Chain A
Amino acid sequence: MARGAVSIVVERCKACGFCVEFCPTKVLALSDAFNSKGYHPPHAVTPDKCSGCDLCGMYCPDFAIHGYRLDKAAKAAETEASDAR
């Protein structure tokens, strides 16, 4: 079971590969798809291995990727839902 997940803003990515290289569990790879500037943004090839450590987010010079912990995200969503009530 994955403990974390990544969210990627494909249009911001410039395909430097930092996130792919420095992800401790090798979750990511640059995809074959292009964004509108012609770069290949990353995608999660082994999403189950993601711990949500956000090292990819720390490295990304283009603020294009962000890793987060699923338990924290679930808690935040719960609080939001109860706030809305």
Chain B
Amino acid sequence: MSTTTTPDCKVHPGNPVESFLRTDRMPHIWCPGCGIGTTVNCFTRALIDSKQDLNKLAIVSGIGCTGRVAGYVNLDSFHTTHGRAIPFATGLKLASPETTVVVYSGDGDLFAIGGNHLIHAARRNMDIKVICVNNLTYAMTGGQTAPTTPEDVITATAPYGTYDPAFNLPYLVEAAGAVYVARWTTFHVKQLARSMQEMFAKKGFGFIEVVSPCPTLYQRRNKMGDALDTMKFYKEVSKTKHGAPTSEVGLTKSGEIVVGKFVDRERPDFTTHMHEHLQHSLGDKYIPAEGPVCG
């Protein structure tokens, strides 16, 4: 027999994602065709392929639909308050430098409510890995205009269309100081998984934007079809341009989506910088803490 189907929703033997899930919480709350689950597949493939030590890995999420990831993965995970995933992750990284700290959150949480934290973590080059699922709206609260919503889009708070310019996330993050910046869509599953691996291997502030469908609130209001239509749209309009100037990759409602790795540069991360500086100014009097400073 070449196909097996099982009616039980609790377990899925053989699926590589399975051991990363809190299966007692399946099925999850995400809407049909919501892209967040697809990004989780890529994330788990990247963890497997990069042979990450799962005992030295922590996931931090803020609030929002993407924030639910922390609750669904069977890893050390923290579901923090709204916008505060980055400060929490910063504290975690400083207290436990051996831990790979991944922030997994949405555009609203990271760039609106937590926007200030994000730019400063990038400026300091904190060694944290940020995966930002960008569905272009505040999804969990009902589809209001977010700072990432492109112009001329109908939202719950803009019935006649948005007119504010949106943030161009890769541009913003590069300007703030990130050492690794990439963008993919949920259509680019293989590329996304590879990019995540690359980011894990790189020291410093890494950032991946994943453009993802929110069929329930964003696409529906804008008559853009369902999730599958959105995936086909991504396939059609995406152009891979590695190294593209981030100033030119802003998203519009229906225009080209530039994807690829935009930034990959070297810069000492916060901890390295701090040790170097204190060594320099204090000389022998400076004794760096060894290992985790708490716990």
* Chain A residues close to B by CB (< 8 Å): 2, 5-12, 14-18, 21-22, 35, 37, 39, 41, 43-44, 47-48, 50, 54-55, 57-64, 66, 68, 70, 73
Among B5, B13, B30, B38, max chain A CB count under 10 A is at B5
A79 → chain B closest CB, angstroms = 14
A11 engages B2 (CB within 8 Å)? no
A72 to chain B, nearest CB (A): 10
Query: Are B34 and A9 in contact, with the CB atoms below 8 A?
Result: no
User: Which of B6, B13, B14, B228 gathers the greatest number of chain A CB atoms within 10 Å?
Assistant: B14
Residues of A within 8 A of B7 (CB): 9-11, 35
CB pair A16 B14 closer than 8 Å? no
Count of B interface residues, CB-CB < 8 Å: 42
For B1, list chain A residues within 8 Å (CB): 5
Chain B residues near A54 (CB, 8 Å)?
16
Known contacts A18-B33, A59-B41, A59-B189: A66-B5 contact under CB 8 Å: no
Q: Which residues on B sit within 8 Å (CB–CB) of A64? A: 12
Q: Which residues of B contact A43 (CB under 8 A)?
A: 3, 5
25 contacts between A and B (CB under 8 A): A2-B2, A6-B3, A6-B4, A7-B5, A9-B5, A9-B9, A10-B7, A12-B9, A14-B31, A17-B33, A18-B33, A43-B3, A57-B15, A58-B41, A58-B42, A59-B41, A61-B37, A61-B38, A63-B12, A63-B18, A63-B21, A63-B40, A66-B17, A70-B2, A73-B14
